[in-house]
Amino acid sequence: MPRGSGFDNSVIAVAAVCSKQAGIDYDIEVADSFLTKMKAKLGDRLEFSQRSSEKINNNRDQEPHDMAYQFLERSKIPTMHFQDGLPRLPIPKLKYTCQNYLNGIRPFLNDEQFDAAKKLVDDFRHSSGERLNRELILWYRRNKHTSYIAEPWFDMYFRYRAALPINQNPFLVWKPYNESFNNDQLSVATNIVISACRFKRSLDYNCLQPEVYHLHPNKSNTPFFRNICSRLPGKLAWLIAFLMKAFPLDMSQYSFLFNTTRIPVMIKDQLNTNRSSKCIIVLRRGYFYSLTVFRKDGSLISPAEIHASLEYILKDNRPVAENPVGLLTTVDREQWSLLRSQLLMIDGNERSLLTIDGGLFVLNLDELQSIDPETMV
C-alpha cells in the first residue's frame, strides 16, 4: 500500500501503554490487527470468571502475587491430564460412508438424479474407493496422535477465501452485571481483561479444570472423582472417568486460544502463535494500543494498573480515524493477503505487525451505541 492511498497510518506502529505507580508512560503510535478465537464453552467459563472478579476489581490495590488473584482455577486434575487417554475417532466402514452420503443428498434430488448418483457411488465403492480406504487406514495407523479428519478439516478452514467477519468469526455476548456492580465500560473491560488473563495463567500452568462432560454430575463431579483421577496415569484416569459416565473432552485447541493469529496468505492462510508475548491489543477509535499485562516473572499486573491503563486509553481525545487500516481485515482473504504484503514493505511495519499478531487477544473499546442487531453485529 503506497503512502497516501486513502488509509490512515499506512506506517503501522504500536501504541505502547504501560502503567506505573506514579502514572503511565505513553508513546502515541498506532497499530492494526484483529483476532478472536474462542469456543462457546470458554465463554461460559469467562462469564463466571468475570463475576468472580468483581470483588477483586473493587479492591484495585490487590496484591499482584496473590495466588487467588493470579489464577482462575487451581484444579487438582491437571488441564491436559486426560489427553493421552482420549479415544480416536474411528474410520467408518466404506459402505456406511457411501450410504450416509446418499442419505444426505436424497432430499435434494429427483428419482432420476438420485439413481445416477447412486450408480456413481457404487462404482466408486467397488473401484478406487477400496484402494483409497486402505490408504486411509494405513495413514490412520501411522498417525496415532491425531484424527483422520483433523488435517482435511483445517485445510478446508484455512483455504476459505471469503471475508472472515460474520462468515466465520464467532462472538460472544454477556449479560449486564447485577445492580450492585458498576456496568460502565471501563469497569466491565477491566474485569474482562483480568478474567481472561487469570484463565490464561491457569491454562499455562496446567491447573485449569479439564473439560469433562458429566452425564450424572451428582455422582461423578465430586471431590472423590477428582482425587481418584488426579492420582492415576492419564489413560487409566480416562477409563475410570468413562466407567463413571464422565467423558473428558479434547482440549488440544486450547493452546491456540491466546497469542494466536490467522495470517492471510494466498490460497491458504497460516496460523501464527507467539508464546512469549505479554501484551494485549486494545482497539479505540480506529487506533490500536499495546498494553503489557504480565510482568517479566509471568505474574499478572494488579487491577489498579489494568484499570488505570484502560482509563488512559479511553481518555485519549484523538478524533476517530476516518479510514483506519483495520478496515483491511474485513476484506476477502486474497485481497487482504496482497494488502498485508504491501504494508510489510514499509519500514517499521513488520515489527509492529509481529507485536499485534502475537498479542494475547484484542479488546475493543469503540463507542458504537445501537439496539439494532444488524448494526451491532
Q: Where are the domains of the chain?
A: 15-68+165-208+253-376, 94-143
pLDDT at 42 over 70: no
Structure confidence at residue 346 (pLDDT): 85
Report how far residue 356's alpha carbon sits from residue 262's, in angstroms, rounded to the nearest whole number.
12
CA gap 51, 171 in Å, rounded: 19
For the segment 39-67, the average pLDDT, to the nearest whole number, is: 43
Residue-level pLDDT at 28: 25
Q: Angle 173-179-184 (CA atoms, 0-180°, nearest 5)?
A: 60
Q: Are 231 and 81 in contact (CB under 8 A)?
A: no
Using an 8 Å Cβ cutoff, are 39 and 172 in contact?
A: no
**Residue whose C-alpha is closest to residue 328's, from 2, 33, 85, 45:** 33
Mean pLDDT computed over 16-23? 46
What's the whole-number mean pLDDT along residues 25-33?
Answer: 29
Who wins on pLDDT, 346 or 129?
Answer: 129
Query: Which is more confident, 174 or 33?
Result: 174
Strands 15-20, 287-292: pairing kind: parallel
**CA 148, CA 43: separation in Å to the nearest integer?**
28
Q: What percent of the chain has pLDDT over 90?
A: 57
CA angle 361, 82, 50 (to 5 degrees): 35
pLDDT band at 16 (very low <50, low <70, confident <90, very high): low
pLDDT at 110 over 90: yes
User: Is residue 183's pLDDT more than 80?
Assistant: no
pLDDT at 17: 59
| pLDDT averaged over every residue in the chain | 81
Superfamily of domain 15-68+165-208+253-376 in the CATH hierarchy: Choline/Carnitine o-acyltransferase, domain 2 (3.30.559.70)
Local confidence band at 15 (pLDDT 50, 70, 90 cut-offs): low
Residues in the chain: 377
pTM for the structure as a whole: 0.79
Q: Does 182 score more than 80 pLDDT? A: no
Q: What does the alpha-carbon distance between residue 50 and residue 188 come to, in Å, rounded to a whole number? A: 8
Q: Which pLDDT value is given to residue 133?
A: 94
Look at residues 212, 173, 200 and name the one whose alpha carbon lies nearest to residue 373.
173
Mean pLDDT on 214-222: 94
Least reliable range by pLDDT among 85-99, 159-173, 211-225, 267-281: 159-173
The answer, yes or no, to whether residue 40 has pLDDT greater than 60, is no
Phi, then psi, of 51 in degrees rounded to 5:
-65, -35
Whole-number pLDDT of residue 14: 54
Residue 293 CB-density burial (10 A; 0-12 exposed, 13-18 middle, 19+ buried): buried
Is the confidence at residue 235, as pLDDT, over 50? yes
Kindly state the greatest CA–CA separation across the chain: 79
